[in-house]
Structure 1
């Protein structure tokens, strides 16, 4: 009897196990069949495209205004671009942005039968293109200083969600450059930090949140733009590091983000002579294919930084840089102009294609680039969004078409649910306050008493905040007279520039018996004086909430403010780690 019971039990267990694996297999099959169907669609679309369509799809262009004017319409009709990048000149109210994007998509569907990737630089902090309809979060460096990946995830998700609601489906963030060179003129506070760990914590959190938010995120600028003192908009930077050195620093955040599922990488216009002595990363097969694709295993979309930047335009213009970039492994050529410049680029690609430059054996590198971009549009529901399938009855659709529709409808519903759970009116305030740090040592705000403090601030946000609390705002020139009254223990001043920081440092030297606190919302990568009675509080961001967080730190905050964790310029060029 016992043996029979054991036999039946084992048989039942085996049957349940089989059911489990069959069920798991069916789920995997369903997932794979949808992926396979999207891949099939991408291949089918690419194989039907003419050389003119293929050559246009790899180019993303810009337009001159806030409406679909004749110039913008002509750009879409003649280039047949895969995407459009929008800047401040294109972005007005949220209604204007939504209307513009809808008109752009309609025009693209009319001429190319494909929707656009519509992109924007929306990093937060000092890089905010969209001012209406999107929360103005602090920038990357502020996020990094919180050392909280959950904050980064929420900022990435909310920003991405709100952009997609406006019709912006492609965001050029997060920046995974490690700002380990305090003289860097272009990355600066756009970086999450000065170490691989800090950049990875915030950067990966942001990318993962943004990826499910609706606007496709882009990790940039591969293989790293942090350790340079040249702006690639204005020159051709060089980073003289070996691959082994890059693997111990610059490549770490990129590798970790790729392993976590990042789908788009932006290349850097920087020469790495020990990897490729002849070409910057954007034009280098050794870097984009050899390092990024083969060594690091990246299978997604590679987009170039703007091809008109001086690093490319002044040094490689006569070498067909667009052709070189595609051959190197890039899938999208980002252009920030329209008219002759974009037409010249398309002619460059089209001529090369007709001459067989992109064909090697059975491979067609131009088609491969277009395939990856179209698959990205399919996977993120951008093709579905403008598909006629949505309005057709299910009786006319195949099982896979129905599955595709159900998948994206569920995805949209889940996105809405996630937003309602993640976003709150206080989220920006909470993160902005958590990002405030002190230099060169801890700052205890509990010792600040307003009646013992001279406040000298400039700027509407700061002035209004003091007025609301009935705190006098003193003109800078009158501070010495008040100090003579011997009833004050502290001076609090707002700074943004090197000049303002220097003036505050002079105050600290002149009044060594007083504590002087600078509320600094500009770049921290300035010459910082290390006086015993001087403290600098950093927000790394000029947003309204960041400015309010600085004042909050001296007026209401009770907990100690931590020390900044960055490589900074100190007095006599000391770094933060060398400060007392």
Structure 2
């Protein structure tokens, strides 16, 4: 078993950097993160920007010491059930063969976990803080990415705990990217206070189809250039808060009439139309340094005639995203329990094909043991090469390192979180957005 805390300490000695959990982007225990100012030029982040602590060579050395099972585990971000890491849950038992989230982490060593109210994860500020601290404690070798789907507006998985902020369409109506940045910083700082270090936001889809049943007000608007400016600003806002950001849903989910949760949308944009309508916000996100990009379960025949959704398309995830847009960060699949990606292949094969297409982290596989086992088998057979596996692990560990997570797991502080969350300064940002949007 790879002992990451020991290795991280060695890295700090090599680089001559002082260790401490403040550098992880989390406020030191007992301290209170500074609230976001209502003046854009004075917006402050809770802690100094975390610096990378490991060189590429050192991360490669870490990867070389990992077992195949440890590497494969890093490629998954499942849902775990219960209000606390040690809460016994029938859902955990049925899905993972163990009763608690902590035991599931010890068994599979996933790269991360995503929180949901329907999984019993979100009840109160103090409960979420205790949960995220408990989840991190269960993963001492490699700290976890703990994610949430907190776009604000329609998709707000941590509501009503955190400050209620307008959704993207309302922010878009203000015409002021600075407000997108400030909203993202508010949300990001509150997530971090809860122990959540990655947000599945911002939405980078351009809502060019008014009949779109799944994006709609989740988008900043229908003008690619204006959406691009908002997306880039939001990415910077999350980074101001020291939280990882995820632009979604690549290559674009804005021109659909089918919800990929329940079906498989087909978008007939030509390559030229895609470059003009869909690509600009993702290009802007990459330029702004976005940490991760989420794939879409949509078919774009003009980009890939195979009939496979983008999540399973090497032409799209590798050809367009990696090679054309130059994205070097982590590629997440959209949730693998959605119908749009499950129709053609089984739950195990989908995970293998997503990795071969260029995805790095498999989000919410509906049958985790089957998906995990299929990837393990594909690596052992050589279908997924060791080099391809290492590519994804390297990107994931690099993201964790840049967000201060390889030094040691951050420890959230409940009292500091309660002081920061829904503070007057944060509510003022929400009020100003509503006022300038004319809501």
TM-score relative to the length of structure 2: 0.79
Q: Relative contact order: is structure 1 or structure 2 higher (C-alpha 8 Å, sep ≥ 6)?
A: 2
Aligned mate of 1:426, from 418, 425, 428: 428
The CA distance in 2 between the partners of 1:78 and 1:120, in whole Å, is: 22
| Aligned match for 1:191, one of 219, 222, 229 | 219
Name the residue aligned to 2:406: 383
Between the aligned partners of 2:215 and 2:54, the Cα distance in structure 1 is 40
Q: What's 2:340 paired with?
A: 311
Q: 1:45 aligns with which of 48, 54, 62?
A: 62
Question: For 1:446-484, what per-residue CA distance to the aligned partner results, in whole angstroms no more than 9, with x for missing partners?
Answer: xxxxxxxxxxxxxxxxxxxxxxxxxxxxxxxxxxxxxxx
Give per-residue Cα distances to partners, 1:78-111, cap 9 Å, x unaligned. Answer: 22110001011311111000000000000011xx
- 1:97 maps onto 2:128 in alignment: yes
Query: Among residues 263, 266, 283, which one is paired with 1:255 in the alignment?
Result: 283
Q: Determine the structure 1 residue equivalent to 2:352.
A: 323
Verify the 8 A CA contact 1:86 1:119 in the aligned structure 2.
yes
Equivalent positions of 1:134-533 (< 5 A) are: 134-278=162-306, 279-317=308-346, 320-335=349-364, 337=366, 341-359=367-385, 364-386=387-409, 423=425, 425-436=427-438
| CA offsets 1:203-254 (integer angstroms, 9 cap, x no match) | 1111111022122110000010000000000001111122211001100111
Question: Aligned in 2, Cα 1:119/1:432: closer, same or farther, shift over 3 Å?
Answer: same
Q: Which residue of 1 aligns with 2:28?
A: none
Task: Choose between structure 1 and 2: higher helix proportion.
Answer: 1
For 1:321 and 1:225, the matched residues in 2 are separated by: 20
Structure 2 alignment gaps of length 5 or more: 1-50, 88-98, 412-420
Give yes or no for contact 1:228–1:238 (8 Å, CA) kept in 2: yes
Query: Taking structure 1 as the reference length, what is the TM-score of the superposition?
Result: 0.60
Q: Please say if residues 263 and 300 of structure 1, whose CA atoms lie closer than 8 Å, have aligned partners that are also in contact.
A: yes
User: Whose Rg is larger?
Assistant: 1
Q: CA deviation at 1:336?
A: 5.8
Number of equivalenced pairs:
365
**In structure 1, what is the equivalent of residue 138 of structure 2?**
107
Cα-to-partner distance string for 1:271-319 (whole Å, 9 max, x where unaligned):
1111112221111110011111111111111000001110111222278
Match of 2:96 in 1: none
Deviation, 1:425, is 4.4
CA distance in 1, matches of 2:82, 2:329: 31
Deviating beyond 4 angstroms after TM superposition, the runs of 4 or more aligned structure 1 residues are 422-425
User: Given the superposition, is the C-alpha separation of residues 424 and 321 from structure 1 closer, same or farther in structure 2, using an over 3 Å criterion?
Assistant: closer
Provide the aligned C-alpha RMSD in A: 2.2
Q: Secondary structure at the match of 1:384?
A: coil
Once residues 247 and 71 of structure 1 are traced to their aligned partners in structure 2, the CA distance between those partners, rounded to angstroms, is: 46
Partner of 2:46: none
- 38-47 or 196-205, larger mean C-alpha shift: 38-47
198-207 vs 115-124, which moves further: 198-207
| Residues 83 and 117, structure 1, Cα contact 8 Å, conserved in 2 | yes
Deviation at 1:136, TM superposition (A): 1.0
CA displacement at 1:132 relative to structure 2: 5.1
Q: Equivalents in 2 of 1:187, 1:60: separation in Å?
A: 23
Deviations 1:514-554 (A, max 9, x none): xxxxxxxxxxxxxxxxxxxxxxxxx4xxxxxxxxxxxxxxx
